[in-house]
Chains A and B, each alone.
Chain A
Amino acid sequence: MNKVLISVLGSDQPGIIARVSDIIKQHNGNIENLSQTLLDTVFGALLQVELADADSAEALQTALEAACQDMDLFIRVHPWRESSSDWHQHKAQVQPYIVTAIGPDRQGLVAEIAAQLYQHGVNITHIQAIFKGGSNPMDNLMVFEVDVPKDTVMQALRDALTDIATRLDLEISVQHRKIFDSVSSIVN
């Protein structure tokens, strides 16, 4: 097993995935999983790749950088062992919740909320910001998709978040994910 994690960041443009995957193919590597996202015009991708035994992360990184040198990308290739962390091995039973913060963009907003989530044993599985400015509160929305362990005291978590909401002039809600799923999707 010779696995690597590849991160590719930079300005979005056509051909990034084409070039990166071509180089992996030339190295007889196999892409096992990948995720790509766009943040406005910024491209980001994360790839899990299995390489031939003789190959190395360093060699692949050099090859990728050479192939993409005109694209102004940040590319990193890390050796990766698929051993799970303690947290993964002893993962508690969780319930999926959605934490939303509505209100003006503030310095430290994400840090404050994330700190409280962490303190209550909550894991963030996805986070997205919808900041459009303007006076419509729904245009300044921070959404945390989280897993809340069964032993987390919901009221304590809510109280901690309410305290942040009061200080930062936000409206923070904590709702079970099922309500969003059931209202939005036709089949469930």
Chain B
Amino acid sequence: MLNPKDIISTLQMVREENLDLRTVTVGINLTDCVSDDINTFKSRVYDKITRTAGQLVATCERIERRYGIEVANKRISVSPIGVVAAPFNAEQMVEIALTLDKAALELGVDFVGGFSALVEKGMSRGDQALIDAIPQALTESQRVCSSVNVASTRAGLNMDAIKRMGVVVKQAAEMTAEDDGLAAAKLVVFANIPQDVPFMAGAYLGIGEADAVVSVGVSGPGVVKAALERAINEQQDMDLSRAADVIKQTAARLTRAGELVGREVAESLGLPFGIVDLSLAPTPNENDSVGEIFEAIGLPAIGAPGSTAFLAMLNDAVKKGGAFASSHVGGLSGAFIPVCEDLSIADSAANGTLSLEKLEAMTSVCSVGLDMIALPGDTSAEMLSAVMADEMAIGVINKKTTAARLIPAPGKKAGDHVVFGGLLGEGPVMAVNMGEQENRFVRLGGRIPAPIQSLVN
């Protein structure tokens, strides 16, 4: 016999607090598709993806009904194309992106990630071709996402790659000018990218992973907010220790739900189960916002002083709860603070409570980085690279993942509004404190050496 309280709280999480599985992502290794003939490679890739994940959408829909929990997105991640398609040139890389897109469309999945390169220490010919292809590939495809790892704690920062990525992001945005630079919203630059992220745009299947693997991304900022609000209402003397407990326990429950569904999908597809990534990932809807959690705990708004402290606590408590609930927690696991994907964060950015600089500070304690940030269209490629370099340095020094998903919205200036639609949302164009657009530091290129691992102060 179930306890009525447990029944009610589970129902509430699903009905009112927007608990969903943000994504079930099937990672597919493409190393066995390798060929130096582009048509052979493309057809092997298409066949392997459609064969391995052919039943993904139908399976998710069946399991959704069984448990009454929505699987918002079904996604594919593949081996980094920069590695498995190394013989090809940029034009052929675009063809490969369109093949991935076609496979995604055929399967009915929402996104396919892995149009990626790992260049933290240097760039191979394949990586170079892939990076050159990114703007066109993301413009011509609908569902392909791209990521480039440009830095790591062990390798330092590849400033040549960062310099190049400023140009690539700018081009990608300009080629999709009529959609406010949408292509740049599907491109993310990383430091310390995890090999098993199920979330986009950073999902790819690491080289050390299985031939195919099912991972799940669980979200639920609304559930955490509701749990905190309930605790505050019920306990007059609730302090932050107690709040951390509430977040931890809630995170554990969310993770349990995710693992249950993930394992069942994996079993149905005959694939191994990989990880649960419990990340508080917002959507542009009320009650599904990370920013609203900041308000629930008593901050005037996200971005106000105190925000970094609370974010540190939130991110840590989410990780602790997740790690307790499942032995296979991975990916990013923590709190995301994407500006355009979160109504409350977008509001704070629009009314000036949250500046780019404060966001950067907050990314030193969040689980990703500068995410979904629209910048003025006239931001120079060099300035974009400089913003990326700052963000990567935070990750490299703090031994954590950081990322930059910057969208220099063509024709837009600070304070204007951009709309990307769907989960990518909408929000204000944020000001960059630029001074000069020129940045001779970035132009120097080379590598910033890997940091010392002792003398940690």
B47 to chain A, nearest CB (A): 32
- Kindly identify which residue among A128, A130, A138, A173 contacts B68, using a CB–CB cutoff of 8 Å: A173
Separation in Å of the A187 CB from the closest CB of chain B?
11
Q: Encode contact with B along A158-188: 1 for CB under 8 Å, 0 otherwise.
A: 1000000000000101111111111111101
Query: Known: A154-B65, A158-B65, A175-B67. Contact between A182 and B4, CB under 8 A?
Result: no
Q: Is A65 part of the contact surface with B, judged by Cβ < 8 Å?
A: no
Give the contacts of B1-23 with A (CB-CB under 8 A): 1-4, 6-13, 15
Residues 249 to 269 of chain B near chain A (Cβ within 8 Å): 252-253, 256-257, 259-260
Of A141, A173, A174, A179, the contact of B260 (CB 8 Å cutoff): A179
Contact of B2 among A171, A176, A180 (CB under 8 A): A180
How far is B9's CA from A42's CA once the two chains are assembled, in angstroms? Answer: 27
**Is A98 part of the contact surface with B, judged by Cβ < 8 Å?**
yes
Does the CB pair B10–A179 fall under 8 Å? yes
Number of CB contacts from chain A to chain B under 8 A: 69
Given contacts A98-B2, A126-B1, A145-B1, A178 and B11 within 8 Å (CB-CB): no
Query: Do the beta carbons of B2 and A145 come within 8 Å of each other?
Result: yes
Query: Given A175-B66, A178-B260, A183-B253 in contact, is the A143-B2 Cβ separation under 8 Å?
Result: yes
Whether, in the assembled complex, A102 has its beta carbon less than 8 Å from a beta carbon of chain B, the answer is yes
Within the complex, what minimum Cβ distance (angstroms) separates A21 from chain B? 23
Chain B binding surface, main DSSP class: helix
**Shortest beta-carbon distance, B456 to chain A, in Å?**
35
B69 part of interface (Cβ distance < 8 Å): yes
A window 75-113: CB within 8 A of B: 98, 100, 102
- Alpha-carbon distance between A155 and B11 when the two chains are bound, in angstroms: 21
Measured in the bound complex, the distance between the Cα atoms of B216 and A136 in whole Å is 32
Say whether A179 contacts B257, CB under 8 Å.
yes
Decide if B10 touches A128 in the complex (CB within 8 Å): no
With CB as the reference atom, state the residue of chain B lying closest to A97.
Answer: B66
Is there contact, CB below 8 Å, between A182 and B259? yes
Distance between Cα atoms of A164 and B75 in the complex (Å): 35
Q: Residues of B at under 8 Å CB distance from A?
A: 1-4, 6-13, 15, 65-69, 252-253, 256-257, 259-260
Instruction: List, sorted by A's number, 11 A–B pairs whose CB atoms are closer than 8 Å.
Output: A126-B1, A130-B8, A138-B11, A141-B11, A143-B4, A145-B2, A175-B66, A179-B69, A182-B259, A184-B253, A188-B256
Apart from the given pairs A158-B65, A174-B68, 6 other A-B contacts in the complex at a CB distance below 8 Å: A126-B1, A143-B4, A175-B66, A181-B2, A184-B10, A186-B252
